[in-house]
Amino acid sequence: MTLLTETRQRDLPPRTAPTAPRTTRAAVPPLAPGAVPGLGHAPALLRDPLGFLGSLSGHGGVVRIRLGPRTVCVVTDAPLVHTLLVALAYDCPRGAVQDTLKTAFGDGLLMSEGQAHRDRRRIIQPAFGPDRMAEYVAVMHQVTEERAGRWHPGQVLDVAKEMNHLALEIVTRSLFDARLSEDATLAFHQALPDLVKGQIVQSLYPHPALARLPLPVNRRFDAAVRVLNQVVDQAVRPTGARSAERGGTLPALLRAATDPGTGRPLTEADVRSEAITMFGAGTETVSTTLTWLLDELLRHPEVEARVLAELDEHLPAGAAPTPEALARLTYTRSVTQEVVRLHAPNAFLMRTAQVPVDLGPYRIPAGTELLYSLTALHRDPDRYPDPLRFRPERWQSGGVGRHSFLPFGAGKHKCVGEAFAWAELTVAAAAILRRWRPVAVPGSRAREVVWTTVQAHGLRVRLTPRGARVPRPDSPADDQVGDDRAADDRVVDDRAGDDRTGDDRSVVEAPAAARCPVSNPAPTPAAPQLPQRSGELRTAAARHAAWVVGRNLLTPPEMTRYGAYALHELIGHAFPRAHGANLDLLVDMLGWFTILDDRFDGPPGHRPAEARAVVDPLIDALRRTGPDRTGACAPVGGGPAPRSGDHLLRAWNDLWSRQAQGMSPNWRGRAAREWQACLETFPAEAEHRAQGTVPALGLPETMRLRRHGSCLYPFMNILERVHGADAPAALHAEPALHRLRANTADAATLINDLYSLEREERQSAAAFNTVLTLQRIRGCTRSRAVGAVRSRVARLRRENEALRSDLRRRHPAGRWYLDGTRELIEGVQAWTSTSDRYLVKDGPRT
pLDDT, tens only, 504-544: 322 222 333 333 433 333 333 344 444 446 778 888 999 99
Is the model more confident about 633 or about 463? 463
Q: What does DSSP assign to residue 500?
A: B
Segment 379-407 mean pLDDT? 82
Contact at 8 Å (CB) between 404 and 78? yes
**Banded pLDDT at 467 (limits 50, 70, 90):** low
User: What does the pLDDT look like over 96-123, one tens digit per residue?
Assistant: 656 666 665 666 666 667 677 777 777 7
Which pLDDT score, from 0 to 100, does residue 819 have? 92
**Banded pLDDT at 84 (limits 50, 70, 90):** very high
Range name among 180-189, 317-326, 471-480 with the lowest pLDDT average: 471-480
**Banded pLDDT at 6 (limits 50, 70, 90):** very low
Is the model more confident about 204 or about 493? 204
Task: Report which of 763, 829, 716 is spatially closest to residue 600, judged by C-alpha positions.
Answer: 763
Range name among 123-137, 570-584, 658-672 with the lowest pLDDT average: 123-137
Q: Is 556 helix (H, G, I), strand (E, B) or coil?
A: helix
**Banded pLDDT at 248 (limits 50, 70, 90):** low
Query: Distances in Å between the alpha carbon of 548 and those of 18, 370, 558, 562, 570?
Result: 43, 34, 11, 10, 17
**Banded pLDDT at 637 (limits 50, 70, 90):** very low
User: What does the pLDDT look like over 572-608, one tens digit per residue?
Assistant: 988 988 988 999 999 999 999 999 988 887 888 888 8
Range name among 300-309, 315-324, 479-488, 637-646 with the lowest pLDDT average: 479-488
What is the C-alpha R_g of the chain?
Answer: 29
User: What does the pLDDT look like over 255-283, one tens digit per residue?
Assistant: 888 877 777 888 777 887 788 777 776 78
Which pLDDT score, from 0 to 100, does residue 425 have? 94
Residues 6+ apart with CB under 8 A from 544: 567, 568, 584, 587, 588, 591
Is the model more confident about 155 or about 471? 155
Cross-sheet strand order for the sheet of 62-67: 62-67, 70-75, 369-372, 349-352
Max CA pair span of the chain: 96
Answer whether residue 434 shows pLDDT above 60: yes
Which pLDDT score, from 0 to 100, does residue 838 have? 60
Which pLDDT score, from 0 to 100, does residue 509 have? 28
Which pLDDT score, from 0 to 100, does residue 566 have? 87
User: What does the pLDDT look like over 295-326, one tens digit per residue?
Assistant: 999 988 889 989 999 998 888 777 789 999 99
Contact at 8 Å (CB) between 454 and 50? yes
**Banded pLDDT at 29 (limits 50, 70, 90):** very high
Across-strand partners of 27? 362
SS3 content of the chain, % helix, strand, coil (to 5): 55, 10, 35
Query: Which amino acid is present at 406?
Result: L
Query: Which amino acid is present at 640?
Result: P
User: What does the pLDDT look like over 395-415, one tens digit per residue?
Assistant: 986 656 667 888 887 877 777
Alpha carbon distance 412, 113 (integer Å): 10
Which pLDDT score, from 0 to 100, does residue 843 have? 41
Across-strand partners of 465? 436
Alpha carbon distance 693, 687 (integer Å): 8
Alpha carbon distance 291, 422 (integer Å): 14
Percentage of the residues of the chain whose pLDDT score is greater than 90? 30
Element containing residue 116 per DSSP (H, E): helix 114-124
Which pLDDT score, from 0 to 100, does residue 170 have? 92
Q: Is 227 helix (H, G, I), strand (E, B) or coil?
A: helix
User: What does the pLDDT look like over 193-244, one tens digit per residue?
Assistant: 777 777 767 766 767 778 788 888 888 888 888 888 788 877 777 544 444 4
Element containing residue 465 per DSSP (H, E): strand 460-465
Q: Is 316 helix (H, G, I), strand (E, B) or coil?
A: coil
Query: Residue 627's Cα: distance from chain center in Å?
Result: 44
Tally of CB atoms within 10 A around 783: 20
Give the mean pLDDT of the chain. 78
Question: Global pTM?
Answer: 0.54
Which pLDDT score, from 0 to 100, does residue 839 have? 58
Segment 552-559 mean pLDDT? 90
Is the model more confident about 633 or about 465? 465
Contact at 8 Å (CB) between 703 and 746? yes
Answer whether residue 832 shows pLDDT above 70: yes
Which pLDDT score, from 0 to 100, does residue 229 have? 79
